[in-house]
A and B are shown apart, each in its own frame.
Chain A
Amino acid sequence: MSKIKEAFADGKVFIPFLTAGDPNLEKTAEYIQELEQAGAGLIEIGIPFSDPIAEGPVIQEADLRALAAGTTTDKIFDMVKGVRDKVHVPLVFMTYLNPVFHYGYERFFDRCRDSGLDGIIIPDLPYEERDELLETANKNGIEVISLIAPTSRERIRSIARDAQGFIYLVSSMGVTGMRNEICTDLEGMIREIRAVTDTPVAVGFGIHTPEQAKNIAAMADGVIVGSAIVKLIARYREHAGKDIFAYVRMMKSAIEE
C-alpha cells in the first residue's frame, strides 16, 4: 500500500495546505511540523505560481508574496528535504503544470523522490493530459492525485478507477477560498466514486469551519483546508505557529467526533 493510502488507514484525515515560502521557507518548515503535531494526517505544500488560475484571492496573494520573497522550486526542494525526517505524515506538492514542465519532468520527479515527497496535485492537468508525466512521476515513487469536480458527472468513474493516492473531490464550482455554504451533492458523488474504487476520498475547496469539516468527514475519508490556514499565515506572518496549531487541533477534533 502506498504511504498516502496508509495515512487513511485509521480514521478520518485532516489535510492542511500552505504555500511554501510565505512568509519564508524557514517558517514553512516550522509550520509543517506544527501542522503535524496538531493532528494533520497529510500535508499539501504549494509551490507558488505566478498565475494560479484555480485559486481564489487568498492563495493567489500568498503565491505572489512567496515569489516576491525569492522562493524558487530549488529552494523548496531543499526545505522539504530538510524537514522530511522531522515529520512522518505523507507530503504532497500542489502546483501548476508549468513550473513542473519547465523544470523538466525527469529532473523534477527525481528531486521529489530525493526530497521525500509522496505525491503531487496539479489542478491544470486533467485526466486526459496526465500521461504527460504519470510514468515519470510513478517511476520515482510519486503518486499523481486526481481531482473530481461537481461538473465531472460521467467522467467520475474513469477518473476514480485510475486514481492514485487519494481522490481530491472539489466541493464547489469556481476557485479555492472559504465559503459559507456547500451545495454540491457530495454524498451522491462519493457513492459513485466508491462504486469503482477503494481509493480514499478527501474533500476540499471552501471548507473552513469545524461544523463544515464534521459534516464532510461523515461522508468522506479526509477534509482539505487551504485558504483558512493561508489566511492565518497572511495575518500573523512569522508568528502564526500558535494559531495554526490551535486551528488545526480544533478542525481535527471536529472530524473525529
Chain B
Amino acid sequence: MQKGRFGIHGGQYIPETLMNEIIHLEEQYEYYKNDPQFQAELEDLLKNYAGRPSLLYYAEKMTRDLGGAKIYLKREDLNHTGSHKINNVLGQCLLAKKMGKTRVIAETGAGQHGVATATAAALMGMECEIFMGKEDTERQALNVYRMELLGARVHAVTTGTMTLKDAVNEAMREWAGRVEDTHYVLGSVMGPHPFPTIVRDFQSVISKEAREQILEREGKLPAAVLACVGGGSNAMGMFYEFIPDESVKLIGCEAAGRGVDTLQNAATIANGSLGVFHGMKSYFCQDEYGQIAPVYSISAGLDYPGIGPEHAYLHDSGRAQYVPVTDDEAVDAFEYLARTEGIICAIESAHAVAYARKLAPAMRPDESMIICLSGRGDKDVAAIARYRGVKIYE
C-alpha cells in the first residue's frame, strides 16, 4: 500500500500552506514513535495521569438479561476526562511539545475531545484554543465551561451547519494561518496523512489491553468487538489489535439519527459515497454534486458526514462491518445500561450498546463480545431528559 493510504483511501488533500507542516509532523512522529524516552513518558502519563489500563468489566446482569454471548465492557469512560479521547491527546500534545510547539488547537463535537485537549494543554503548560460548532456549544454547554475552567479559549463556530464538520473547517483555517508555534490536535482517525495513523496508533492501546484482558479472563478471543463510529477513533482503537484475528468480528455502529431512510442521519457507510474532504479520500454523506450534506444525530460526537480512511478500507475489504443505529435505539440503550448495570455511558457509546442488545441473544453463551464504552454520559443527561420530554433544572 502507498504511504498514507488505506487501499484507495487516505492521502493528503490539503492546501499548500499546510503541506510542509504535515510533512514535518510525519517525520517527527516517525522519530518519536521509536524513541524509548518518548514512549516511556507517554506510558507514564497514560498510567499515572489518565488511569490506564482501563477495566474490562464483565456485564453479568446484561449478559443474563440478553441470554446469549457473554458481554464485556471496555471501560474507556473511566479514564481521566471521561472518555477515550485522552489516549490520543496525551500522545499528540507530548509530540507537539517535543516539536517545540507552544500552542494547540482542536475541533470538538460533543466536547470530549475539546475537554481532553484542554486538560493535556493545562498539564503541559500549552496555550489552547478549541473550535466547536455553535449548535454543539448549546447542547453541550457544560463541556464549554469545563474547557474554560481548564484555561482554554472556546470559539463557537457559526458557519455552515454549526456542528462538528464546521468546527474542523475552522480549525484547519486557523492552523493554515499559524503553523509556526501551533499543533492541530486532530481528534479522530481522519484528516490528511499522517493523522489517521497517529490517532490510530495512540488509540490502539484500547485493543492492546482488551485483547490481553479477554484472553486472561476467557482463555480465548471474543467472537465480536463493537464500537460506535463517527470519525471512528474509539472504533479504530478497539479494532486495531484484533484485525489479524480473523475469527473476531469487528462491528462499527454508525449514527442513523431519525433513520437511514430519512434525511436526518449521519450514517456514512450506509448512505455515503466516495469523496475527498477534510484532507482525505474516504466515504462522505454528500449530494449529487459533491456538496457535503448536513448530517444529524442526537449524538454531537457522531454528527460528522465522513468516516476515517482506514475504516473505509476495512469496509471495502469486508474485514469490518458497519451497522446503523437510530437515536431511539441509542437512547433506549443509554437508559438500559444505566438501569441494568448502573453505568451511565455517553450517548455515542450507547449506539454500540444498542447493537449489542440485538446481536448478543443470537450468539452462543460460550462466545463473548466486547463493547467499547468510549465515554461517560454525564454530559448527555440534560439532552436525554429533553428527548424524553422531562423538564429538569440544571
Contact = CB atoms under 8 A, between A and B. Distances in A.
A126 B15 CA distance: 6
Contact of B15 (A98, A102, A149): A149
Interface string B273-300: 1111111000010101111100000000
B11 interface: yes
Nearest to B24: A151
Interface string A83-126: 00000000000000111111100000000000000000001111
A13 interface: no
A10 B108 CA distance: 51
B275 A102 contact: yes
A141 interface: no
A18 interface: no
> What does DSSP make chain B's interface, helix, strand, loop or mixed?
mixed
B192 to A, nearest CB: 9
Interface of B: 11-21, 159-160, 165-166, 169, 172-173, 176-179, 273-279, 284, 286, 288-292
Given A99-B289, A173-B177, A174-B176, A124 B14 contact: yes
Contacts of A152: 16, 19-20
A201 B11 CA distance: 28
A35 interface: no
A147 B289 contact: no
A129 interface: yes
Given A53-B172, A64-B160, A97-B13, A173 B276 contact: no
Contact of A150 (B17, B275, B290): B17
Given A73-B289, A99-B291, A150-B17, 10 more contacts: A54-B176, A72-B289, A73-B290, A98-B291, A102-B288, A124-B15, A126-B13, A149-B17, A151-B19, A173-B176
A174 B292 contact: no
B293 to A, nearest CB: 8
A186 to B, nearest CB: 15
A211 to B, nearest CB: 23
Interface in A51-90: 51, 53-54, 56-57, 60, 64, 67, 72-74
Contacts of B20: 151-155
A50 interface: yes
Contact of A151 (B17, B169, B275, B289): B17
Interface string A166-203: 00001001110000000000000000000000000000
Q: 6 shortest A-B CB distances, which residue pairs? A: A102-B290, A174-B177, A149-B17, A99-B290, A50-B291, A98-B290
Given A152-B20, A173-B178, A123 B286 contact: no
A228 interface: no
Contacts of A8: none
Interface string A120-140: 000111111100000000000
Contact of B292 (A51, A127, A175): A51
Contacts of B279: 124
A51 B165 contact: yes
B173 to A, nearest CB: 5
A175 B176 contact: yes
Given A53-B172, A98-B275, A67 B179 contact: no
A67 B288 CA distance: 13
Contact of B179 (A127, A173, A175): A173
Contacts of B15: 53-54, 123-124, 126, 147, 149
6 contacts: A53-B172, A126-B19, A128-B19, A129-B12, A152-B16, A170-B17
A150 to B, nearest CB: 7
A97 B274 CA distance: 12
Given A128-B12, A174-B173, A102 B289 contact: yes
A174 B284 CA distance: 26
A51 B277 contact: yes
A99 B13 CA distance: 13
Contacts of A155: 16, 19-20
A111 to B, nearest CB: 13
A40 interface: no
A247 to B, nearest CB: 26
Nearest to A98: B290
Which of B12, B20, B284, B290 gathers the greatest number of chain A CB atoms within 10 Å? B290
Contacts of B286: 98, 102
Contacts of A127: 16, 19
Which of A100, A101, A153 gathers the greatest number of chain B CB atoms within 10 Å? A101
B17 A97 contact: no
A14 interface: no
